Amino acid sequence: VWSKHQVKKFEDNEGFQQRFIGHVETTLARSLYNCDDLAAYEATSLSVRDNLIINWNATQQRITARDPKRVYYLSLEFLMGRALDNALINMEVEKPDGKGMESSRALVSKSLDDLGFRLEDVLEKEPDAALGNGGLGRLAACFVDSMATQNIPAWGYGLRYEYGIFAQKIIDGYQVETPDYWLNFGDPWEIERNEIHVPVTFYGYVDRPSGDTSTLAPSEWIGGERVLAVAYDFPVPGYKTSTVNNLRLWKAKPTTEFDFAKFNSGDYKNSVDQQQRAESITAVLYPNDNFNQGKELRLKQQYFWCAASLHDIIRRFKKSHKPWSEFPEQVAIQLNDTHPTLAVVELQRILVDMEKLDWHAAWDIVVKTFSYTNHTVMQEALEKWPVGLFGKLLPRHLEIIYDVNWFFLKEVEKKFPKDLGLLGRVSIIEEASPERQIRMAFLAIVGSHKVNGVAELHSELIKTTIFQDFVKVYGEKKFTNVTNGITPRRWLKQANPKLAELIGQAIDDPDENYLLDMSRLTELAKKADDPDFQEKWDKVKAANKVQLADLIRDINNGVDIIDREHINNTLFDIQVKRIHEYKRQQMNIFGVIYRYLAIKRLLKEGASIKEVAKKYPRKASIFGGKSAPGYYMAKLIIKLINSVAEVVNNDKEIQDLLKVVFIPDYNVSKAEIIIPASDLSEHISTAGTEASGTSNMKFVMNGGLIIGTVDGANVEITREIGEDNIFLFGNLSENVEELRYNHQFHEAEMPTELDVVLKCIESGKFCPDNASEFRPLTDSIKQHGDYYLVSDDFESYLATQELVDEVYHGQRQEWIKKSILSVANVGFFSSDRCIEEYSETIWNVEPVKPEE
Ligand code: 26M
């Protein structure tokens, strides 16, 4: 009886259109005659979602039946971007001839055409799901894509923020933040699960019913405030597989319990207000990237999410009636940075207080379950919580942390009996003034069986700097490296369909199965010297540059900044990422100023524009990225870039030889246009500061070359693609300490090139109304020790940029060859490789493949 009513997926035009019209007319209560692109986007998404849900159900049933070990990826950020195009690419339908499967994109595009819509316009209506800041959040999004593609039984857990990362407006050259209320029109991709709700408690006090005074004994936490966590599920489709995994995001809602004491006392309004406050927990994503502010609401977010997720994970584990000792054989939990470290403590609390396990048996389970990824060595990013604030919000968890620390330190003392200094250095509790602080990274290390960095250099650095004492305590083996990766589905196929197709042709794989095994790209190398192929390759790049020029024109109120006529002779030099002093956008713009001044000087000396162009050929310097709202220096860098753009772009004398563009509101969907259009991209962080970087991988995968420092994953990119195919410069990380020391204690030597630039800025050239506006930027180099070592790297940066110009303009074939060879060897940076490494070396999980 049931099977007769089984819901069927659409598999052809007819089927899609039926669903589409059904959703327009019933779900949206509109008619096809007044259906605009937005409604068409919603109806298309709902139709595609229907198919995904059917596969989602099958996937979950399969996993429940086989009951394998599952992975839970806990991340406060999932920077997913748009879902529709990705779903169309990943999800397959049967081919019209019935012989196998193909991507559903063509089918949906054709069906929409027939109904009078253009897929491109419909796709544009989708707002980005921008629930992340930058690298860490986007990495989580790439990982869930790869886990689904590889049929790993994995769930992501995060928060459903009502407001994602702010939208950036540029007004008078300054960043202005506007709220990103992305749920304005409702989100067709989310499935609200009101039936799945978990109560979460805060504040209150601890009681020990046994009368036992030991905090190790089962205790009862009497909470003072309760909210509900409600689940919202987002389907995550794999590529060329019917596996659809789940991303579960929690929303905070008031409990339905009512405070009768208040109600009876006539304080009705107040008690409603209190309930409303619950929703503020998941209202907004903190817009800091690599910076810890220590706000109570942030800690509340973290506990809310950890408690709800663990509750859900344990409920699922209990379904199979296995003993607790088997929990680590059934569950692997990955901590995406220290943000979810409370989950470690929460699991210990559940096992000891609720399940009445012995403390040590419980702790053994905890450590085997968790592993921790570190994403930064920067001191200001490391999470610490004052014990006062922490203990008020989570009194029982504070006790548990003290006990965990006590046993840990006892162990350390046993191993290193006379090393009192060591005990203080590794203690989870920092004895700081004015108050003790909980070091979350140390708690994450102690509570995990594996700790990994995100690129080789970074993984070595954490072992020798911030975590060196832990290597002494635990040995090397606990610390490992998994170099980051990116999903080639979004970052090649979706962002750059023309290049993906050309590659498919070149390596004789028109079905683009190579997107599942990027090592096959090496076959491209054979074509690197083929002039016909080089021409095709170059044409794809040129077309992508036109698309970016269109975007830039739209931003500039319809007026072109990029000279269309010379577009294929203009080097697109791009730096897009969060604005941060360590990423050194300031060095980039100083380089632009230097170039501008050099052009002006040559002209003044009587050189013709042609002669000038020989030394300084056409270049467009393109920037994009958000600053944290409270980050003064980063905001000043944005202003400087825009001020320089204003002067340079309006200087008729230099005749378009140089253009400067700041693209507002850099996000995932803009990245998909910007990255495929780059000739050169900049990854120029002070050596030892950028843990990995992932946009470097995206640019290379799209045939762009890199100018970069010997930092993060640049090192391995060089190893993979060959040092002839990357422009490296600058000091090495092992010299950074000494260089900083020199700046502190010796008279700084300023390279003349930089001196010229800083003096020009100080002259007010770029801010005539407020000549000292950029003083903090120049002073940070001249007066305050040049912490990011701009003056130490500036000359080699300029020299390397000259080399770039020579190759791009003087040896174009060589350039294209480098581009092809880079793509041929970029396969290592697929997040599929990365997920395989996690699966084998950290999680010990295996795929659950759908039946063929
Ligand atoms: C911390 C405390 C309070 C509020 C926010 C934070 C916070 C948020 C995001 C701290 C760090 C955050 O992200 C760090 C990040 O994105 N790190 C980047 O991770 C990438 C993926 O591993 C790396 O490629 C980058 O090098 C690294 O900077």
Residue 168 predicted with pLDDT over 60: yes
583 is catalytic: yes
Q: Which atom of ligand 1 is nearest to the CA of 484?
A: 22
Rounded average pLDDT over 646-665: 98
The number of residues in the chain equals 852
Cis preceding linkage at 434, omega within 30:
yes
Query: Tokens 């107040």 appear where?
Result: 270
C-alpha closest to that of 108 among 172, 240, 14, 31: 14
Q: Which atom of ligand 1 is nearest to the CA of 454?
A: 22
> Same fold for the domain at 67-83+126-483+838-843 and the one at 488-829?
yes
All structural domains of the chain with their residue ranges: 1-66+86-125, 67-83+126-483+838-843, 488-829
Residue 603, amino acid: L
pLDDT in tens, 322-359: 999 999 999 999 999 999 999 999 999 999 999 999 99
Could you tell me the pLDDT band of residue 259, with boundaries at 50, 70 and 90? low
pLDDT in tens, 705-759: 999 999 999 999 999 999 999 999 999 999 999 999 999 998 778 999 999 999 9
Contact between 39 and 29 under an 8 Å Cβ cutoff? The reply is no
Residue 1 predicted with pLDDT over 60: no
Probe target for ligand 1 pocket from 305, 375, 457, 835, with the most ligand atoms within 8 Å of CB: 375
CATH class of residue range 67-83+126-483+838-843 = alpha beta
Token representation of residue 154: 């994995």
Residue 262 predicted with pLDDT over 70: no
375 is catalytic: yes
294 ligand 1 Cβ < 6 A: no
pLDDT at 705: 98
Rounded average pLDDT over 814-843: 98
Q: Tell me the C-alpha distance between 363 and 366, whole Å.
A: 5
301 ligand 1 Cβ < 6 A: no
Q: Which atom of ligand 1 is nearest to the CA of 137?
A: 16
Residue 263 predicted with pLDDT over 80: no
Query: Rounded to the nearest whole angstrom, what is the distance from the C-alpha of residue 792 to the centroid of ligand 1?
Result: 26
pLDDT in tens, 546-563: 999 999 999 999 999 999
Q: Kindly state the percentage of the chain with pLDDT values over 90.
A: 94
pLDDT in tens, 602-643: 999 999 999 999 999 999 999 999 999 999 999 999 999 999
pLDDT at 69: 98
pLDDT at 540: 98
Q: Tell me the C-alpha distance between 240 and 666, whole Å.
A: 30
Burial 502-525 (b: 16+ CB within 10 A, else e): bbbebbebeebebbbebebbeebe
Cα distances (angstroms) measured from residue 528 to each of 219, 458, 506, 820: 68, 32, 11, 6
Protein residue with its CA nearest to atom 3 in ligand 1: 292
Residue 778 predicted with pLDDT over 90: yes
pLDDT at 2: 62
Cα distances (angstroms) measured from residue 110 to each of 14, 36, 42, 104, 492: 11, 18, 17, 10, 23
pLDDT in tens, 284-321: 999 999 899 999 999 999 999 999 999 999 999 999 99
pLDDT at 260: 65
The answer for residues whose C-beta is within 8 angstroms of residue 553's C-beta and 6 or more apart is 559, 560, 561, 562
Q: Tell me the C-alpha distance between 822 and 827, whole Å.
A: 10
pLDDT in tens, 186-210: 999 999 999 999 999 999 999 998 8
For 488-829, CATH number? Answer: 3.40.50.2000
**Average pLDDT score over the chain:** 97
The answer for residues whose C-beta is within 8 angstroms of residue 810's C-beta and 6 or more apart is none
Residue 271 predicted with pLDDT over 90: no
pLDDT at 5: 79
Q: Tell me the C-alpha distance between 821 and 837, whole Å.
A: 25
580 is catalytic: no
Query: Rounded to the nearest whole angstrom, what is the distance from the C-alpha of residue 631 to the centroid of ligand 1?
Result: 15
694 is catalytic: yes
pLDDT in tens, 804-823: 999 999 999 999 999 999 99
Query: Rounded to the nearest whole angstrom, what is the distance from the C-alpha of residue 453 to the centroid of ligand 1?
Result: 12
- Report the Cα 765 to chain-centroid distance in Å: 37
Residue 277 predicted with pLDDT over 70: yes
Does residue 487 sit in helix, strand or coil? coil
